[in-house]
Amino acid sequence: MKALLLESIHPLAESILRDAGIEVDVRTGALDESELIDALRGVDLVGIRSKTEITPAVLDKATDLKAIGAFCIGTNQIALGDAAGKGVVAFNAPFSNTRSVVELAIAEIIMMARRLTEKDSSLHDGVWDKNAKGSHEIRGRRLGIVGYGNIGSQLSVVAEMLGLQVYFYDTDDKLAMGNAHRCDSLDELLGIAEVVTLHVDGRSGNAGFFGAEQFAKMRPRSLFLNLSRGFVVDYESLRDNLRSGHIAGAAVDVFPSEPKKRGDAFTSPLQGIPNVILTPHIGGSTEEAQEDIGRFVATKLRDYVDRGTTTLSVNLPSLTLEARPGGRRISHLHVNTPGVLAKVNSIFAAHGVNIEGQLLNTRGENGYVVTDVAELPDAAVEELRAMPETIRLRVID
């Protein structure tokens, strides 16, 4: 098998895949659609981060592709439905860089509250500007967290330990951590919080989620952070609110359009505004987080190849499978319609195949059944592959 790893994925991922007998091609930058189509010829596994897009056109051409590893949290750069329809499983790393993002958010809240970037710039310019004006402690301040998932909830705990009063809003019903207060609406949170931080996911419905209307409802002289997705915020509106003084400071780590590789030119309407911290999408970019992401996602890819395991897949039914010491394992991804399992087993019975173990799970339009057998005639394999419901069939020896 062959794997392609893009966007400077941690070397541990390459090591894990090579140790599993997989040939690995490593590249540092992202690829555009046409480049990716060319690069995926004959490739079984691909690893990406946030810049490379796996589009329907890429999936149409990548006929050998079996699995996608998103070495990050977000998966909106992958056409997940199209991938599922072609039997291409996708994995991500939903937990590995949580702490790194939380620590950056806390650091930036303190930096903005103390206006440290401005003090730093003054000294670099040779100006000694020692005064307390506009500089505040964060203890006792009201932090509003929009999106209370893995990152938002951990930020809630750490912030409370530092003395912040935590309020949160999420469209799903989430359990409050510690003494955090749940808000019934975004408007309620914006009217309370002195610091607002976004940690929403990358679903298309969140595009333009936070704009002029929301900034207007924030408390005067409050602070704003976005470490989630660039397209959820209207940055022109944020710029206007910063210049008017309604928003006292902002920290932004993600942008609607980001350069594909290190060293490329970057522009933003937020450049050059005092008390604004701009970082190049490094929320999860610590050595610790990248190593753990490399281990986590590469292990998922390896286990899918070796065992057929799809645990924590983001687009196909989840099955957790043990290693099989002998015999053969049939991995059958199919359209989820009634009677498929009966058809599969009737084919086995017609060829005298004794089933030693079998697991089935479904997810939306897709089903996944894995069957362990001692022996498997080629004719049975061909019949399974020819079933009209079959999306992808693999035999794992």
User: Which residue among 115, 141, 229, 307 is the active-site one?
Assistant: 229
In the numeric block, the tokens 């941690």 are attached to: 10
What's the order of all strands across the beta sheet hosting 390-396?
A: 355-363, 366-373, 328-335, 390-396
- Specify whether 291 is catalytic: no
Side-chain-side CA neighbours of 272 within 13 Å: the count stands at: 5
**Backbone φ and ψ of 224, nearest 5°:** -135, 135
Task: Say what angle helices 287-307 and 11-19 make with each other, to 10 degrees.
Answer: 20
Residues 224 and 273: beta-carbon distance below 8 Å: no
Compute the C-alpha angle 44/47/51, nearest 5°.
130
- Specify whether 281 is catalytic: yes
- Specify whether 258 is catalytic: yes
Residues 30 and 7: beta-carbon distance below 8 Å: yes
User: Which residue among 199, 281, 307, 332 is the active-site one?
Assistant: 281
What's the order of all strands across the beta sheet hosting 67-70?
A: 23-26, 2-5, 45-48, 67-70, 89-91
Burial of residue 374, with CB atoms counted within 10 A of its CB: 0-12 exposed, 13-18 middle, 19 or more buried: exposed
Cα dist. 128→110, 120, 123, 273 in Å?
A: 21, 10, 6, 20
| Dist. CA 395–CA 308, nearest whole Å | 9
Q: Which residues of 273-287 are buried (b: 16+ CB within 10 A; e: fewer)?
A: bebbbbeebebbbbe
Side-chain-side CA neighbours of 377 within 13 Å: the count stands at: 11
| Dist. CA 391–CA 380, nearest whole Å | 16
User: Which residue among 33, 35, 258, 356 is the active-site one?
Assistant: 258
Assign 110 to helix, strand or coil. Answer: helix
So which residues are the catalytic ones? 229, 258, 281
